[in-house]
Structure 1
Amino acid sequence: MRRRDFLQLSGAGIGGLMLSSIPVLGNPISVEQLLEPRADAATKKRLADIALNAARSKGATYTDVRIGRYLQQYLFTREQKVQNVVNAESYGVGIRVLANGTWGFAATSTLTPDGIARCAETAVAIAKANARLQTEPVQLAPQKGVGEVTWKTPIQKNAFEIPVGQKIDLLMKVNKAAMDNGAAFVTSNLFFVNEQKYLASSDGSYIDQDIHRVWPTFTASAVDRTTGKFKTRDALSSPMGMGYEYLDGLASEKIQAPGGLVGYRNAYDMVEDATLAAKQVKQKLTAKSVQPGKYDLVLDPNHLGLTIHESVGHPLELDRVLGYEANYAGTSFATLDKWKAKNFNYGSKLVNIVADKTQPYTLGTVGYDDEGVPAKQWDLIKDGVLVNYQAIRDQVHIIGEKESQGCCYADNWSSVQFQRMPNVSLKAGTEKRSVFDMIKGVEKGIYIIGRGSYSIDQQRYNFQFGGQLFYEIKNGELVGMLDDVAYQSNTQEFWNSCAQLCDQDDYRTFGSFFDGKGQPAQVSAVSHGSPTTRFNGVNVINTGRKI
């Protein structure tokens, strides 16, 4: 079995994804095989015990065994054509050990007693070889075993049980709705992931988890045939830790703001969003180009989530702070001296940002991480001050913690687990405030919806962000659509300009379905929640050629 297969999209538009290909971790299988069960928990426990015993007999002082079945179904369409349907499965075991104070890892798709025992022995041999170069032994935070437990994403409808024809019909309706309302081109896509993960460790844990994620998305384009100018608008959906019920649209809580519909919560009407997108993308063709300058920005959660991801989520990963992670998107400006000072103003006093692996319906929510640590929530920024990082079992001693924060993850059984971003979210305001109320208080500003292009430096400090939709605010009212908008700032300046938050009624999540990190590269899925938030006096530039 190959460790990585990649699906080339052949030009299919994946709105805002910034990837030339979508990772498919596994081998092609039929739709029917997606629903066929593999080994039950009792069989996995027997196989895991073989690995644990084999590793211990060769000198391992700690072992964890991950038996994983990773299922993916991806559907791609354009206008009224189906471009591709991908069904993939990856199944095998990854074994990680500590021997002579050093990590070793090996993986195999040969899930027989002999194959697993040999894999465990190989992992120990690798650890002992690595130990010759180790200058400091690994300090692994203790973790009490939890025994035999199970955890499942609380889905109502398993997306893999929904017929492919029904899913294609939905995408065709989405595309038709966009075309009927003025889009010249449209691509639409559905991504479904199911991780069936069994973790056993020498701590005494046997954890069986069934994790589901879903992401519906599209990109609608409009073209001015006279000038050749074109504009796009991506879906306002968010990837979710849910089943197919997210796509029913029946229980969608629609979020309204000045200018109309801006999002959904806990269910999503993809056809309605495509209809609106087509109308809006036509308006973008004639939108006024922005005048550069200082503006108060009102940022919708579907936009602000990406800014949180890049300027808070990544720089507070402890491996970046320590320089362990550098080649893939850089290190971090938020160094240990700033945390130790206990007074580093990451943002204004309104900024309270938490890491959370327990929030319902989000991408990063699980029962236990890939080291067997129960999911939890903890503060990263409290009242604007940097108070903590994201760390795993072999890192937490560096920041004086006694137990892991539970944010270790591997994207496949064949990948070694390492620190990955949990859900990182901005808490809502405590005062009752709607988007309408917030906009009424802005004299000169821009209301931004949806994620766009972005750029951030190697220390996660200086950045630039665009968006999908931009509305000019004058004297507390929206006065029209703008174009060519991007804002520039640095992380500390930006978060210290945070001046106002909507309350919990406006709180929504944004998600990143394919967040890359590490070498060899791995992907993970993570959500970022926030209310609509106001930032004062932010520098806005014009990204177009003409003003």
Structure 2
Amino acid sequence: MGAGAMMLPDLGLFGRSIDPSQLLNDGMDVSLKKQLADVALNAARAKGATYADVRIGRYLNQFVATRENRVQNVANSESFGVGIRVLADGCWGFAASNKVTKDDVARTAERAVAVAKANAKIGSDPVQLAAQKGFGDVTWKTPIEKNAFAVPVKEKVDLLLSVNAAAMAAGATFVNSVILAVNEQKFFASTDGSYIDQDIHRLFPNFTVQKVDRASGKFESRKSLSSPVGMGYEYLTPKPGSSVPGIVTRYKDRYDILDDVKNAAAEVSQKVNAKSVEPGKYDLILDPSHLWLTIHESVAHPTELDRVLGYEANYAGTSFLTLEKLRSKDFHFGSKLVNIVADKLQPGSLGAVGYDDEGVPAKKWDIIKDGVLVNFQAIRDQAHILGLKESQGCCYAQTWSDVQFQRMPNVSLQPGKQKMSVDDIIKNTEKGIYIIGDGSFSIDQQRYNFQFGGQSFYEVKNGKIVGMLKDVSYQANTQEFWNSCSAIADESDYRLGGAFNDGKGQPGQSNAVSHGSSTTKFDGVNVINTARKI
């Protein structure tokens, strides 16, 4: 349950506990938010700001957690306030308050200007802000079918307890299950002339099943194959075509949690007695439920421009993808099959929004094209470094009380262009391991040398799956790994995975982001045995 609590981005870190019925309150009227924003913008300009933006945010969270036949926790929280960012004397200043009246927002704006002017006394080069047109009054909402907060807590508890009961009936020793729901109600206004109201929803149902062999003392676990999504509660309503059949059923745009937990309990019993892997070189066949994490750590993080420039060196690290590698003919990030895009528009994804937290419209762009590094991730005050005329729209703050900065968009590997199924990839593999689900990982501070585990491992010999393995982890460096990419299944296999709480920054902030792919093959990767020898 500690792991479940860690996945919760906001709850317990800020906000006040509320009754679940209050999660459905409409909150402050948009017209009043606009009036307050104008007060803040005018106050900032009056004190010498050359640019200002205001974010009035209401952040709602619900956490429902169970274990075996009992409820462990139900928590509901709300956080509401205003954050104001300004440019004055060429430097940024920021201030925030949970007091949202006209007098209070004016004082908060004045304080932000004072911070900017204090920063200017020790600043060097002035901020260069990419131009951004204003959009006037606009709205955007996650296209949900069923608001998760409208579903009674009892219904969620009953579902989770039925999941636990199914796991125990199928032979599990322990099981816990969780539903996390988030709603960000964000109003943005700027001196550029934008007044943007957004209603963003996210959901993450998940579980962990464990099996203990009392006679031998051996134990194994398997996590759910769900994905955190930018959807409503409809994600938990499976429909025909929403799963991918195979040796393990995987899930696309809808998730059957009861089906998954039954499969998990059966698999975890097999894992206890599975063959321990023989170390060596294997061709890896990586399911999207696994590959999303490798993409996240080895592609998405090193292409964050602030990491490349060293801004995150003290906390999150730097990047081996230095600026001179951009569009270089002498540097090959991956094989010609590797095409990776950043996409803030993708329906159902965690990173899908209408506009980022600088009022920049969401967009899609290439990062790796035919194996070549062609772009990074940048925001308004970074765009000039890459010679861009506009921001790529990937600025985000986890709450109203945090300053917005460059955060990862959805970053995904594009499907193969030729018709190819998972079975086709397996048939063309002589010695391989098919990996499903994400597990432990380790990667160096430049995002270059890494090691990844997983959930379920299947041995492939002469084009066939011959049994389950355990104690599997693979090691490589990022460039070597992506250059070993030899096959990618087509669009019919494409699925999203994602991180509900990607951490970054000082003070730390959390961001939700998705990564998509189809099943992909990598040749000759080093596999180690992780079992401890006593």
Output the TM-score relative to the length of structure 2: 0.98
Aligned counterpart in structure 1 of residue 266 of structure 2, from 276, 279, 284 = 279
The correspondence for 1:474, drawn from 461, 469, 487, is 461
Q: Structure 2 CA distance, aligned partners of 1:463 and 1:132? A: 42
Aligned to 1:140: 129
> What amino acid does structure 2 have at the position aligned with 1:50?
V
The two structures, once aligned, show a CA RMSD in angstroms of 1.5
The reply to whether residue 249 of structure 1 matches residue 223 of structure 2 is: no
Question: 2:197: which partner in 1?
Answer: 208
Q: Deviations over 1:212-260 (max 9, x none)?
A: 0000000000001012111000000000100000012235611122x24
State the shift of 1:33 in Å. 1.2
Task: Pick from 212, 218, 221 the counterpart of residue 210 of structure 2.
Answer: 221
- 1:429 is matched with which residue? 416
What residue is the counterpart of 2:487 in the other structure?
Answer: 500
1:14 aligns with 4
Paired position in structure 2 for 1:156: 145
Q: Is the 8 A contact 1:252 1:269 kept in 2?
A: no
Indicate if the aligned counterparts of 1:149 and 1:208 stay in contact, CA closer than 8 A.
Answer: yes
Residue 251 (structure 2) aligns with? 264
SS in 1 for 2:455: strand
Q: How many Å separate the matches in 1 of 2:521 and 2:494?
A: 14
Mapped contact 1:289–1:546 kept (Cα < 8 A) = no
**1:326 aligned to 288, 313, 322, which one?**
313
Q: Matched residue of 1:143: which SS?
A: coil
Describe the superposition over 1:33-85 as per-residue Cα deviations: whole angstroms up to 9, x where unpaired.
Answer: 11112111101000000000000000000000000000000111100110001
Percent identical across equivalent pairs?
66
Which whole-Å CA distance do the structure 1 matches of 2:304 and 2:240 have between them? 36
CA distance in structure 1 between the partners assigned to 2:470 and 2:202 by the alignment: 33
1:252 and 1:268 in contact (8 A); partners too: no
Q: Give the CA deviation at 1:116.
A: 0.4
CA contact (8 A) 1:408 1:420 kept: yes
Q: What aligned pairs does 1:80-479 form with structure 2 within 5 A after superposition?
A: 80-251=69-240, 253-257=242-246, 259-261=247-249, 263-339=250-326, 341-479=328-466
Counterparts of 1:112 and 1:346, CA distance in 2 = 51
Tell me how far apart the structure 2 counterparts of residues 23 and 255 of structure 1 sit (CA, whole Å).
Answer: 36
Letter matched to residue 183 of structure 1: A
Q: Tell whether 2:39 aligns with 1:50.
A: yes
Q: Displacement of 1:329 after TM fit?
A: 2.6
Paired position in structure 2 for 1:77: 66
User: Helix, strand or coil for the counterpart of 1:467?
Assistant: coil
Structure 2 counterpart of 1:435, one-letter code: V
C-alpha distance in 2, partners of 1:19/1:315?
24
Against the structure 1 CA distance between its residues 128 and 291, is the aligned structure 2 distance closer, same or farther, given a 3 Å change threshold? same
The aligned residue for residue 4 of structure 1 is none
Q: Is the contact between residue 9 and residue 501 of structure 2 (CA under 8 Å) also seen in structure 1?
A: no
Q: 1:396 and 1:291 mapped to 2: Cα distance?
A: 48
CA–CA distance in structure 2, aligned partners of residues 462 and 482 of structure 1: 24
In the alignment, does 2:27 pair up with 1:38?
yes
Letter in 2 for 1:102: C
Please give the secondary structure, in 2, of the residue aligned with 1:452.
Answer: coil
Unmatched tracts of structure 2, length 5 or more: none
- Report the alpha carbon displacement of residue 546 of structure 1 after superposing the two structures with TM: 5.0
For 1:30 and 1:483, how far apart are their aligned partners in 2? 45
Q: Which moved more, 1:322-331 or 1:47-56?
A: 322-331
Distance 1:31 1:331, change over 3 A: same
Q: Are 2:305 and 2:376, in contact at CA under 8 Å, matched by a contact in 1?
A: yes
What's 1:541 paired with? Answer: 528
Matched-pair contact (CA < 8 Å) for 2:9–2:510: no
Distance 1:18 1:247 in 2: 19
User: How far off its partner does 1:343 sit?
Assistant: 4.4
CA distance in 2: counterparts of 1:18 and 1:238, whole angstroms: 12
User: Aligned partner of 1:396: which letter?
Assistant: A
Corresponding residue of 1:6: none
CA distance in 2, matches of 1:390, 1:20: 22
Residues 422-475 of structure 1: CA deviation (Å, up to 9, x unaligned): 000000001111101110000000000000000000100000000000000000
Structure 2 counterpart of 1:145, one-letter code: G
* Structure 1 residues 209 and 19: alpha-carbon distance in aligned structure 2, compared to 1, 3 A threshold: closer
- Matched residue of 1:232: which SS? strand
The aligned counterpart of 1:3 is: none
Q: Quote the offset at 1:19 in angstroms.
A: 8.9
Secondary structure of 2:437 counterpart: strand
Alpha-carbon shift at residue 20 of structure 1 (Å): 12
Runs of 4 or more consecutive aligned structure 1 residues displaced over 6 Å after TM superposition: 17-22
| CA apart distance, 1:23 | 5.5
User: Are residues 529 and 45 of structure 1, via their aligned partners in 2, closer, same or farther at CA, if it must alter by over 3 Å?
Assistant: same
User: Does the C-alpha gap of structure 1 residues 13 and 80 become closer, same or farther in structure 2, counting only changes over 3 Å?
Assistant: farther
Q: Given that residues 12 and 76 in structure 1 are in contact (C-alpha distance below 8 angstroms), is that contact kept between their aligned partners in structure 2?
A: no
How many Å separate the matches in 2 of 1:342 and 1:138? 32
- Structure 1 residue 340: deviation in Å? 5.4
Work out the CA distance in 2 between the residues paired with 1:21 and 1:50.
Answer: 29
**Aligned-pair CA distance for 1:97:** 0.1
* C-alpha distance in 2 between matches for 1:177 and 1:328: 42
| From 500, 524, 531, the counterpart of 1:513 | 500
Structure 1 counterpart of 2:4, one-letter code: I
Taking structure 1 as the reference length, the TM-score comes to: 0.96
For residues 24 and 449 of structure 1, the distance between their equivalents in structure 2, rounded to whole angstroms, comes to: 32
> Cα offset for 1:32?
1.3
* Secondary structure, aligned partner of 2:326: helix
Q: Distance in 1 between matches of 2:188 and 2:53?
A: 7
1:112-169: per-residue Cα shift (whole Å, max 9, x none)?
1100000000000000000001110000000000110000000000000000000000
